[in-house]
Structure formats: structure tokens, C-alpha cells
Structure 1
Amino acid sequence: MAKDKSGYIIAAAFIGPGTVTTASVAGANFGFHLMWALLFSIIATMVLQDMAARLGIATGKGLATNLKDISDKPAFRALFAVLIVAAVGVGNAAYESGNLTGAAIGLDAFVSIGTGNWAMILGAISALLLYSGKYKVIESVLVVLVIAMAVVFFVTLFAAGPQWTDMLSQAMQPQLDVDTITMILALIGTTIVPYNLFLHASLTAQNYAGEDKAESIAASRKQSVMAIGFGGLITLVVMATAMMAFFSQAATMDASNMGQQLEPVLGEGAQWFFAAGLFAAGLTSSITAPLAASYAVCGAFNLSQDMNSRAFRSIWMAIIATGVIIAGMGFKPLSAILFAQAANGLLLPVVAIFLLVVMNKRELLGPFKNGKASNLLGALVVAFVVCLGAYKLVSLF
């Protein structure tokens, strides 16, 4: 059996600065009233990532290639290719700006030269790491740093004496209104990341090539549920620590004081540790986002998916450059990160609908096509996110 770690790579990819920031803001501003949105996101992520992984293993191809091959007609194939590029390209550019901004906030806490300047430096570092072709080694180191930060959040949560009764009471009083809709979309967008569907399918297609498909799918599913579940638990703990530090308190959370939620354990060192973790999370995600975009676009246009090919490199370079430009345009850090997550929430239905279509192709997947349960869960996810997006648009007018 292949030594596949794609489930953990996916979990590491969505535990980026967007997750830390979004969960912190949600906990600080709304307490546990939005816990339902996070739980929905975790379950939905498991469902959709399972489909993507199963598709990659069963066909030996990435999601983009399979989506483009839905129809034999040239016009439809071209349309799908354009839609893939639009959805993943635009989404990843927004996401990349959030990743770079989050990491830049972390570094600026150590050496203050401005988040825009740090974003340029981080973009260059990400480009060099991808150009080397050794991204997995670097990613593994950064994942360890993110896990270390997660451990501190866990310790802080229990050391601070959490108000379990208050948490349960708030969780049992879910909120969904004009004031919370952007935050809900951000929580969904930071957990169910569209580009992770493309990345997961491509990784499993490569890592399980030549293996028994049924056994591979079972192994991949078990690993994904554990990894994504752990990632969701980390997000929940971040939300809880922010809730205890800021919700219903006089202090208001912003980019400069997010680390205060760690002070019960780390004291004055909390801000620095939080900054280091935010940097690690941001750099990890700023590598995986352009990587996924390269897999998706190359698959859509039948280009080489070799990391050293010119086309593959050109795509991730364009994503990183766009992210650096957006990050350096002077948006408020928290606003830029939350916008990136909300944009992902709005782009999700586009990718998910296409995934549902291809997962029902019996001639393509045979016994590994979607069953009734997968289709029902997938349809519910898409319908809910579409309704949220429509509600958000209507509320603007």
C-alpha cells in the first residue's frame, strides 16, 4: 500500500492564517453562536474531499482533467476548461493574498517593515521553495510548527478554565442573520477550500497509482476523516480561546492583539508565539494554493503536471505574483483575510457542482461512483452554500 499523506496535507493546507484569523474573529465577536457553521464545514469537507480522493484513485487522473472530459464535444470541453481556470485561478489568487497577509502579520510583529513588504519577501520565499521541487519537505516542517501552535491553544483552553456551560448555551442558540452571514461564509470558505479538492484528487491519483483501488479508497477515507477531523478540532479550540479572551469583554480584537488569547499560559511571550505560528501557517498555505492551481490548470489544458515543467511553473508564479500584489495594496489585514475566505465560500458551489456531476459517471468510475448517501450529502452542501451566497448578495441591496 502506498505511503500516502495527502489527507494530512489537506488538513495542513486549510489550517492556515485564514483559519486562525477567521476562527479567532468568530469567537471574539460571536462566541460559540456560530459553532454550528464550523461543524457543518467540517462534515462537508469530509464528504467533498472523500469524493475528490475517490475520483483520483479510481481514474488515476486529477479533478480538472476529469471535469474537462465530462463531454466529448469540443465546445463543452473548452467551456469546462475556462470555468476551471476562472474558479480555481480567481479563488486561489484571493486565497493566496490572505495567506501572504497572514504570514506577513506574523513577521511584522517581529520586525516592523510593513505587511506589504513582508508579503513580497514571503512571495519570493514561496516561489523559491516551489521552484526547488522540494515543497513536501518544507511543508512537513511547517505543519509541525502549526501543530505546535495547536498544542498551545489546547493547553491555553484548559488552563484558562473554560466556561463549558456558557459555550454549550451559546452553541444551542445558533445565529444566522445579516450581521453574521459574512463570518459564516468565511468559516465555510476557510474550511471547505475549493482548491483542496483539486489538490487531493491529483495527489491520490499519483500516490495510489498501481495499487488496489478498493483498498486504497478505504485507506484514504480513514486517513482523511482523521486528519480533517483533527483540523476541525484545532479550529474549534482557536474559536474557544478567542471567545474566552474577547467575547463580551471590554477589549476588541484586531490584528495587533490576537495573540492575547494565549496569555493565560504564555504571558508576555504570547504575542510572539502567535505571530510565529501565523507565519508558519501562512507559508504552508501560500505553497499549497499555487501548487493546486497549477495542477488544476495544467489538467484542464492537457499540459504537463510535472513540477519542473514550464507551464506548471508559470501558473504558480502567476498566482503568487497576484497574491503579492493584492496583499500589498494596503487593505486592512483582517479584512483582506476574511474577504479571501468569504470569496472561497462563494466559489465553492461552482467546483462542488462539477464534482457531483463527474462523480455520477458510471462509465468513468464503475463501482466507485457516488451512492445515494454521497449524492444527498453533496447536494445538501451545495444547496446550503448557494443559499448563503444568495442571502449575502440580497443583503447588500
Structure 2
Amino acid sequence: MDFVCAHAGRPATALTRRDVARALLAVPSGVALVGLPDLRRALMSAGNPLSLPFWDSAKSTLSSIESGVATVGDVQRWVESTGTEPILMTPSYFVWPEEDERGPVAAEMFRRLVAHLEELVEMGEIDPDALAAGDQDARAAYESLQEHWLGTPLQDGRVPGFSVSDEQDEELFAAWDEEEAFALSELRRIVGGLPKQPELPLTELESAVARLRGLLALPGYPGNVLRACAGFDDRPVPDDDMELWLALAAGVAGPVSDLSENGDVLEEFADLDGELSMEDAALANLCAIQHADWLAGVAALARLGPGVLASPERMARLIAESEDIDVDDQDEDDLDATEGLFTSVVSLWVYLGVVNADEVLTPLGWWGLPKALERAWSSAAD
């Protein structure tokens, strides 16, 4: 009893089913099973007996854990059946962060919801015994009232669900910016240490840009993907050749926007059984490549120089063997996944003149790739 009260931060008379369930799960299941009868008697003596369905469900769940047949979902469902544990994922797919990953806002909103549920149990609007018995109607009502609370403004105007999601987005963006800034500093260090700095191959640049201007004026792939990557659907194409080329090359490493939406695109995404178009698949692949993979791949090409093979398979190998990033041991599936992502990259590099038709790095690619990557990663820092 002392352990349960300390774990919950409440006296015995105020303990809820949730408090007891969480305390039981905080110790080995065998220990919890042995102590269950004494705990039940102690709570009865304290005038807080809880209920027979709760104790039966506790014994059943702990026994399943001890025998190794309980799943994480089974245990989560049992804690939720106490009537005051917020459900981990609502029917509308709102997901609470893990307890050790909650920011101040998520922690506050979680506490508020627990208190709200405790009030509803006290008022008889939630029946924990029905939840423990697996009553589907009781479960549906339990989910519905939590959905309603998450979407209802508090007195201060904050909507709990939106507040938690906004905090998670801010944390995600902050982590992304930090990773990008670190990758940028490493890129500058690596390029600055090259024994020979590449010079701009002006003739190759002019030839590539002349080809690109023609492609950008045409509908379909690759023009639509390149325009989306560089954000040229929302701003004019630069007149300066170098500015145009760097914007496109940087866009491949960090796409600025999605494809322009139209009815066909929306219908395509609504068809969950259909396949993505070449354009959508290409953009999805570009957005899936991590900063570390870009850094490792471009750093390797910068060191090797023009004439090196830069095929998707070779890029996957260069990344896996890189000493510039921490790479776990990769199996063939990992290499195949990286190769698949860089298939879209290399196909666009051919149009940019980064590699030639044989997927070999050109002097233009050697000169421009580090500069394009630096541009793609400089927006947050700037």
C-alpha cells in the first residue's frame, strides 16, 4: 500500500483504479501477483475497495504478462479500462506522445484529461466495470467523450488536441533545424578541407541551363517535378544561369513545394489501392532522404571528383561506407532502400548535368553539388 500511494502521490482513500493499475505495472508481474491479495485487503480496510471486476481484470492481465502472452496493446487496453486513462489513439487518430516524450503542453493536457475523466467516473457517467468487462458500447462512449474533450476549447481558449499537436510540430521542426544546421557545418568543413577546389565549368553550365529552360516550359515529368522542387510554380524562373541551376539542384536536395494540386491529383491520392505517379513517387523519395545520407553521398563525390560513377547503387554504397556519419551495419534491404530513393535523385541529376547519361559525375556536378546542398540547408540558419 505504501508503494502504491507513493507511486500515485495520493492517500489510500483517494486511489483510483488507474493509480493501482499503473503501480502494479511498475514492478515485475510476479511481484505484483503475489502482492495483489494483500493490496486488495489493505484498500478494503482503508474504505476504498474498488470493485471485483477490476481485481479480476488485474489478476488476468498480470497473469498474462507473467506467462508471456500479453501484448503491449492488451496491457494498454487494460489500463484504459480503468476509466481514467486517456486512450492512446482516438478514432480520429489523435495520438498522445509517450510519457517520457511529452512536452509541457502535452503533459498539462494529459493531466487535465485524467482529472476530467475522474470527475466523470465520480458522477457515474463512465462505468469502469463495464470497460473492464469489455463492453463495446461502454468503450465507444469512452472514446467519444475523450474525442469531444480534445476538440472543446478550455476556458483560456486553447483546444487541447490542437495544442498538443502544435507543440509536437514545434519540437519536430526544432529538431529538424538543429540536424540541418549540424549537417551544414559538417559540409562546409569537408568542402573547405578538399585539396583542390573545383572551378565553375561555364560551358557545361550554359549547356545544361539551356536544356533546363526548355524542360521547365513543358508540362509533365521532369519539368513539373523540377519546378516544384525549386518553388518555381510560385515565383518566376531566374534569368541568371547560375542562379537557376543552383535553385534547381538545391531543390532536389530539399524540395520547396509539392506538385500543383488539381482534380486528378486529389483523386489519385484518394485511391489508396492505386500506385503513385512518377512525379509523386519522385517527390516522395526526395523528401525521404535524411540529411546524413545527403551529406555522406555528396561529401564522397566531392572527394572523388569528376569521372566517378554516381549511379543509385554506387550512391547507396558510398553512404553505407561513409566515415562522415554514424552508420549502423546495413544489410541488403537497407542498401536497396537507399538505392531506391537515389534512383529518383540520379534521374533528375541527368537532366541537371550533374551526371552524364552513364551516371558518371561531371565537372559541373563536382562544382555544383556542394554549393547546391549548402543552399538547400542554409535557409534555416539564415
TM normalised by structure 1 equals 0.22
User: When you count helix as a share of all residues, which structure comes out higher?
Assistant: 1
Higher relative contact order (CA 8 A, sep 6+): 1
TM normalised by structure 2 equals 0.22
Which has the higher Rg, Structure 1 or Structure 2? 2
